[in-house]
A and B are shown apart, each in its own frame.
Chain A
Amino acid sequence: MAEETRTAAPSETPSGDRPFSGGGGDRPDRGERRPPRSAGPGGPGGRGEGGPGGRKYFRRKKVCKFCVEKIEAINYKDIRLLAQFVAESGKIVPRRLTGVCTPHQRRLSTAIKQARNIALLPFAGRAS
């Protein structure tokens, strides 16, 4: 099923489906919460049938970027790295969206807050 949704993804792009900003392109993996749906023309469990305003789910195994790439140093000066985990609004992207493991998210949030303090990253809130 996961293969099917992935292959079907490029062809059907609903208008409301904006690319997820930040988080390295990982989408929430909560397919198990999806209510069972009858097999429609898009196949069972096809992506993007959540109705207007409904959330679209995408099955993909979430992995912690820092564990996989063995990045241990999460430094407040490394803005390129940190910017991947900050949403457009300046908010820190939650773990459930990015898949970062708890110890790394803790270090990441500290680093982002330090970077904000020295004006390397914006604070959340109204865009200045």
Chain B
Amino acid sequence: MAERSDLPPEMAQQEPLPSGPGAAAILSAALFVFVLGFLTFLAAAAEGAKEWLNFQNRVGPLSGKTTMAGVVWVTSWPLLHFAWRRREIPLTPILVLAAALILAGGLLMFPPIFERVEP
């Protein structure tokens, strides 16, 4: 961060903002990716899960996968935001965790991986 003396006066007077809300946005987005990948893998492996995720017939299990991942996202984001809104959360471990979640989710929704577990 720049020294506050480097900032234009109008900005130097404003309070710095903690990293918590940014970390919350990043981590909850990463959670969405992971949950979507996980549900994709689960639907491929278990016929029961695939049927349960069929929220809308015309769209099929994709409707349930994206809806449930979306529920996790819109739930976790405000929870994390309010928990961390005044806190300076170390970004590096959050970014590492987010990267791991996104990588795992991305792999789980990659067809050569999830199609291996199809019955």
A and B co-occur in one complex? no
